[in-house]
Amino acid sequence: MNLYGRDLITTQEWSRNELETTLDLAARMKRDRFADNFTNILQNKTFFMFFYNPSVRTRQSFECAATELGGHAQFLEPKSMRLKTATSAGETVEDAAKVMSRYAAGLGIRILEDQVSAYGEGDNLLREYAHWSDIPIVSMAHDKYHPCQGLADVMGWSEWYGRGPGKGVDPVVLQGKKLLVAWGHGALARSWCSVQEAMLIGSRLGMDVTLAYPEGYDLDPAVVEWTKQNCAENNREFGITHDPREGYHGAHVVYSRHWMSPQAYQNGEFLKKQEIEKALHYPDWICDGEKMKLSDNGIFTHPMPIDRGHEVTDEVASGSRSCIYDVAENRLHVQKAIMALTMAGR
C-alpha cells in the first residue's frame, strides 16, 4: 500500500486497510515517540496549516507533530493572504494551490462555523485545493468532516477496550461495541464535522451506532446513509432516537457533543445567536452520571473543547471512565502517522 500524495478529507474515502495501517503506525510512534527512525521522516520539509477558524489542539498537535518528525509546520491565516473571495478580488485557489505545492510537503485546511455561509462550502473549498494542488490536502476540521479527530477517537477507544493507552492499538476490539453519539445542549453552535466523522469511522470499524438528538437536529442525510451502509456491511445495528436517555442503554462509548441545527445557515448567513438560544432550551440533553449508569460501564469521549455543564457534567468529563485526554494526545500520534505516510519522501 502506498499512501504517498493522498488527500485526507474524510476517513470514509480511505480503505479500512489504509486506516488500520495509519493507526498501527500512530501506535508505534506513540510507544517509541522519539526513536531515531521517526525523528527525521519530514527532515527539511514544511507542512502548511491554513486556519480560517481558531484552534487549540489542532494547531498545537500539528506543530508538535512536524517538529517531532524533523520538519516544520507553518501557520497561515487567510486574512494575511490576498485571496479572492465572493466579494473581493485576489488570488484564485488554482494559483494559491499551485504555488503552495512548490514550497510545502502538505497543506492542512480548517474552515467551518462562521467562516462558511452554507453547509458544504468548506468541503467544496478543500476539494478545490485538492484538485489544483500537487501535495496532499488534509482536513484540519471543516464543515463536513474531521478525519484526524476521527482517527484519534478510535485510537483512544481501541486503547481503552484493548491493552490500555500507549500499549498498542487493535481496532478489532471495537467490533460489536455500541457507540452512542448524543446531542448535548450548549452555548456554542458547533459544526457537524466531529460527530459525523466519529459515526463514519466507528461504523467502518464494526461498531453499532446510535444517534440521539431532539427533533430538528438532523445531521447530513448522506452521512447518516453512509453510516447505515457501513453498519450493514459489518452486520451491525444503526438506530436513531429522540429520547435523551434511551440510547445510553448498553452503550460502550458515549460521545456527547452539541451540534447546530440544519437551520443554522440561512440566506448565506450563519445564525449563531439564534442557534445558541434554541439549544439552551433542552437542559435534559446533558451527559451525566445518572445516564452513564444506563450504559455498559461505558467510556465518555469528546473531541474537545468541552462545554462543561451543558454537554456533560464535570463528574463525567473528569471521571475515571473519561478518555478525553488520551484522545486529545492521540491527535499528535495520528497526525504524525498521516504526515509520514502521505508526505515523506517528497
Q: How far is the CB of 325 from ligand CP (least distance, A)?
A: 12
Instruction: Give whichever of 149 and 227 is closer to ligand CP, judged by the CB atom.
Output: 149
The per-residue DSSP string of 278-332 comes to HHTT-TT--B-HHHHTTSSSPEEE--S---BTTTB-HHHHTSTTB-HHHHHHHHH
Interface with ligand CP (CB under 6 A): 55-58, 141, 149, 303-305
Least separation in angstroms between residue 63's CB and ligand CP is 12
Cell matching residue 202: 466507528
Rounded least distance, CB 207 to ligand CP, Å: 20
CB of 199 to ligand CP, least distance (A): 16
The cell numbers describing 157, all together, are 477507544
Contact (Cβ atoms closer than 8 angstroms) between residue 271 and residue 264: yes
Distance in angstroms between the alpha carbons of the first and the last residue of the chain = 17
Min CB(39)–ligand CP separation in Å: 24
Identify residue 78 by its one-letter amino acid code.
P
Q: Closest CB to ligand CP among 120 and 305?
A: 305
Name the residue nearer to ligand CP (CB basis): 71 or 147. 147
User: Least distance in Å: CB of 114 to ligand CP?
Assistant: 14
Identify which of residues 76 and 304 has a Cβ nearer to ligand CP in the complex. 304
From CA 19, how far away is CA 41, in angstroms rounded? 20
Q: Considering beta carbons, is residue 236 or 333 the nearer one to ligand CP?
A: 333
Q: Where would I find the beta strands (DSSP E) of the chain?
A: 46-51, 72-76, 106-111, 137-142, 178-183, 208-212, 238-241, 253-257, 265-266, 269-270, 299-301
Residue 20 or 197: the one with the smaller Cβ distance to ligand CP is 197
* 65 strand-pairing partners: none
